Amino acid sequence: MELTRWEERALRGDMGEALRLAMRAVVKVGEALGAERLVPITWAHVSGISYKNIGDAGLEFLEELAGRGARVSVKTTLNPAGMDMERWREMGVDEGFAEKQLRVIRALARMGVQATLTCTPYLYGRVEPGEHLAWAESNAVLYANSVLGARTNRDGGPLALFEAIAGRAPYAGLHTDEGRVARVVVDFAPAAERLRGLYQVAGYILGRIAGPRVAVAEGLPRPSAWEVKLFLAAVGASGGTGLVYLPGVTPEEPRVAGDAERVSVEPGDVEEVEAMFSGEFDAAVLGCPHLSREELVEVLRYLERRGGARRRLVLFTARAARDRSLEEWAGRLGVEVFYDTCMVVSPIVGRLGGRVAVDSAKAAYYLAAQGYSVRLMSRRQLLDYVAGGGD
Ligand code: F3S
């Protein structure tokens, strides 16, 4: 791999042990990917920082790295943690877990990472088309590539941290023009009627079809901002791809390989996904990916028109969207709001009795994998259930 003089010095350890370690990891991954060089990045987003997922081994790794003087060299933000950093007791989190989760965040903060604790970094910062990023949260990666026209691979959490320290990513995959060529075109037209209001199901189907391949989605009506989030999060749950060309949404013209596969989605495919997530439920959780401020307002407005929540509803959003008046409004309507975490990486669903309705296919997938009973529905159906109608 061709390295600049600065990169070579960093790799030799001339600028410290922590940078040497980070550069070595980035170069090794680059070699495995066949990258000819590295590319400077402007923003890294680190995932996998819930103590529930990384445990003591992850905590020790981060504290050791911070102890060796590691510092990020670009803007670096964080995915959700395993608890609301302030109201963790209300979530059913025990003291031991909370103490270790706080240590994880502290170690990252010592390295200069901003504790944004949200999986929607794209809502809280500007990204220009063509900008190179190192993001490690599948829904955010898909959003960056497919909606913002930025360039990032689907990096793992530790790699994104090393890239943040090195300020570089391997120039491979979705960073390159060739890596952004679509290899599969998915036509939703035959199932469009059946998919009305169910972008999350469409996304889940697309992810299964595409696997790691860049895809084009055809035959879907133009989604709203929050439907795009649900769609891409679902793609990230069922597939390994990091880019879907969505007509009318993606700023980049799709380049499609001459031998790209064409697949049509039928109504039966929709029913199959619905059947996968058709469990019993007696509470509802929303906010995967984290709700934007606009979505929060929309949800609360809808419930207000319906006279408030008659069934349990828990919302998840970013601390950057925090607002006392919204909190009080939610409280009056009987709705709980938590920050910094989500239904998948915190113990909230167990505390709710283990049977929940969701509007996110990504949440449905991961909660079902944790053994919970999950029902996937449209946002409208879910809110009607909460307001006292439906099941
Ligand atoms: Fe975000 Fe948690 Fe879903 S991290 S995308 S809300 S699983």
Please list the ranges in the chain whose pLDDT falls under 50. Answer: none
Query: What residue ranges do the domains of the chain occupy?
Result: 5-175, 181-273, 277-386
- In the chain, where do the E strands start and end? 38-40, 43-46, 75-78, 133-135, 168-170, 181-187, 215-218, 244-245, 255-264, 284-291, 313-317, 336-339, 355-358, 373-376
Which residues fall within 8 angstroms of residue 39, CB to CB, at 6 or more apart? 132, 168, 169, 170, 171, 175
Ligand 1 lining (C-beta closer than 6 Å): 79-80, 119, 139, 233, 288-290, 316, 342, 344-345, 362-363, 366
CA angle 209, 382, 360 (to 5 degrees): 30
Q: What is the pLDDT of residue 82?
A: 94
Ligand 1 centroid–CA 256 distance in Å is: 30
Residue 46 and residue 30: Cα distance in Å, rounded?
18
Report the side by side order of strands in the sheet with 373-376: 336-339, 313-317, 284-291, 355-358, 373-376
Q: What is the pLDDT of residue 53?
A: 86
Ligand 1 atom showing the smallest separation from residue 316 Cα:
6
47-56 pLDDT, tens digit per residue, is 999 998 899 9
Q: What is the pLDDT of residue 157?
A: 80
Q: Is the CATH number 3.10.20.30 carried by domain 5-175? A: no
Ligand 1 atom showing the smallest separation from residue 140 Cα:
5
Closest C-alpha to ligand 1, atom 6: 288
Residue 108 and residue 375: Cα distance in Å, rounded?
36
Ligand 1 centroid–CA 289 distance in Å is: 5
Residue 363 and residue 277: Cα distance in Å, rounded?
10
Closest C-alpha to ligand 1, atom 2: 342
- What distance lies between CA 164 and its chain's CA centroid? 18
Contact call for residues 372 and 356 (beta carbons, < 8 A): yes
5-175 shares its CATH topology with 277-386: yes
Q: What is the pLDDT of residue 305?
A: 97
Ligand 1 atom showing the smallest separation from residue 80 Cα:
4
Residue 168 and residue 160: Cα distance in Å, rounded?
10
Q: What is the pLDDT of residue 298?
A: 98
| CATH of span 277-386 | 3.30.499.10
Which residues fall within 8 angstroms of residue 99, CB to CB, at 6 or more apart? none
Q: What is the pLDDT of residue 168?
A: 98
- The closest alpha carbon to 199, from 21, 362, 25, belongs to 362
Ligand 1 centroid–CA 290 distance in Å is: 7
Q: What is the pLDDT of residue 12?
A: 97
310-341 pLDDT, tens digit per residue, is 999 999 999 999 999 999 999 999 999 999 99
HSE, side-chain direction, 13 A CA sphere, residue 154: 22
Contact call for residues 85 and 117 (beta carbons, < 8 A): yes
Task: Enter the DSSP assignment of 151.
Answer: B
